[in-house]
Amino acid sequence: MSYYKKWSQIMNINKITCVQDPLIEIDLPKEQFNEIYKVILDELEGQNDDYESYVDYYFTINPIRSFVLSFKGEKEKTEFYDIGLKKESVLSLKEIHEGENKKE
């Protein structure tokens, strides 16, 4: 198997300082992205050697801003966010638009 990056390794790479947010599509500081999406990122540690459990599946280094990890495409962005939905660590788009969560 090829060598793919785990999220914990990304956190130790100093030249990567920002990560694209899947909803608002702005570049967040890596530490802030880690706080917001920690539950999802915990799933990107190479579990069972599944390619989908590595950062490389979802992200690529932005070709213009080499300090930014950007989503490879809409499919990967959606799959990333779906992990959070399944783990109930993010709000659904409906909840975001309505300004409420399931409990309300």
Closest CA to 67 of 21, 10, 24: 10
pLDDT at 95: 62
> In the chain, what's the furthest Cα-to-Cα distance?
46
Specify if 87 maps to a domain: yes
What letter represents residue 30's amino acid? K
Domain that holds residue 16: 7-97
Domain count for the chain: 1
Question: Would you say residue 104 lies in a domain?
Answer: no
Q: Could you report the per-residue pLDDT of 51-80, keeping only the tens digit for each?
A: 999 999 999 999 999 999 999 999 999 999
The alpha helices in the chain, defined as continuous H runs, are 7-11, 30-36, 38-41, 55-58, 74-86, 93-98
- Among 8-12, 67-71, 81-85, 91-95, the minimum mean pLDDT is found in 91-95
How far apart, in whole angstroms, are the C-alpha atoms of residue 77 and residue 58? Answer: 7
Per-chain mean pLDDT for the chain:
89
Say if 44 falls within a structural domain. Answer: yes
For residue 2, tell me if it sits in a domain: no
Whether residue 1 lies inside any domain: the answer is no
